[in-house]
Amino acid sequence: MSHPVVAIVTGANRGIGKAIVESLIKTSQGNLILYATSRKGFDMGFNTVSDTQIRYPALDIADLGSIRNLAKAIYQDHEAIDVLINNAGVNLDNDYTPENVKATLDTNVRGTLHMCQAFIPLMRKGGRIVNISSTGSSLDQYSGAIQQRFRSPEMSLEDLELIMQEYQNCADNGSESANGWPRKSYSVSKACINALTAILAKANPSLAINACCPGWVDTDMGKMVGSRPAKAPVDGAKIPIRLAFGDIDGVTGRYWGNPSIADKGCGQVMEW
């Protein structure tokens, strides 16, 4: 490959995002330009090898202007990008309020969508997008009617937005359980990520766009679940890295994970 591989990792300053960057640096054969983003855009001090270049732009995925500014800056330097790993996200369910439900959906789902919409036009044919999801995205906790809507092969971006608005309305008036929703905005946001991934993959057949659960990882977010998480961040980085750079046999639009959230494998296609 004559051109350098240009990759973006959002939320690279901690947790799984940081582990993804560190693992890519270790496994890179050079010829890689990696944008490790954070809200403040500070130098994270990653030690590079060979001719790998690390850049540290500021990015707030909940701010459309911030996303557009990054896309413009990267496009000025490169004719195309190859990989986008949408890792940045929030879990505010320890303080479950209607306001935090909106903040979660705005960041995790709408922010990821805006990233994809900004960068898909800049991606090289054969490029890859990885959306970080969660085991909490399982539809088992929803009513049958909601499961059916999420699983519709005809779901559009407009349908997905309507689902989010309906959930928000239920959170606003406290009627989640009565209408088949869990009181878990993080889980709802990740189910939306899985649906979003399928929608975008169908609309962009020249790219490989997949979602994945990294497993139960020892990060600040992972510790919110309860007892000590099962895996180190470097293990949680394995599936995202495979989907971004490894052999996936042309699969796109699917959800990947391991049979157990404690497994340290590189993932397989799973139902959610």
97 located within any domain: no
Greater pLDDT, 87 or 28: 87
127 located within any domain: yes
Predicted confidence (pLDDT) per residue in 190-228, tens digit: 999 999 999 999 999 999 999 999 987 666 565 566 666
Return the structure tokens found at 176. Answer: 């989640």
**Could you tell me if residue 2 is left (phi over 0), alpha (psi between -120 and 50 degrees) or otherwise beta?**
alpha
CB 180 within 8 A of CB 143: yes
Check pLDDT > 60 for residue 1.
no
Give buried/exposed letters for 196-213 (b at 16+ CB in 10 A, else e).
bbbbbbeebeebbbbbbb
CB 193 within 8 A of CB 211: yes
Active centre residues (catalytic): 186
The bridge status of strand 53-55 relative to strand 81-86 is unpaired
Side chain identity, residue 159: D
171 located within any domain: no
CA distances from 11 to 15, 87, 90 (A): 8, 6, 10
191 located within any domain: yes
Predicted confidence (pLDDT) per residue in 4-27, tens digit: 899 999 999 999 999 999 999 988
CATH number reported for the structural domain that contains residue 62 in this entry = 3.40.50.720
Predicted confidence (pLDDT) per residue in 93-130, tens digit: 999 999 999 999 999 999 999 999 999 999 999 999 99
165 located within any domain: no
Greater pLDDT, 153 or 226: 153
Q: What is the number of domains present in the chain?
A: 1
Domain span holding position 239: 5-91+109-141+187-270
257 located within any domain: yes
157 located within any domain: no
Return the structure tokens found at 81. Answer: 């990008």
Predicted confidence (pLDDT) per residue in 47-101, tens digit: 877 788 999 999 999 999 999 999 999 999 999 999 999 999 999 999 999 999 9
Give the neighbor-by-neighbor strand order of the sheet with 255-257: 53-55, 32-36, 5-9, 81-86, 123-132, 208-212, 255-257, 268-270
Residue 226: what pLDDT? Answer: 61
182 located within any domain: no
Which among 114, 94, 118 has a CA at the least distance from the CA of 106? 114
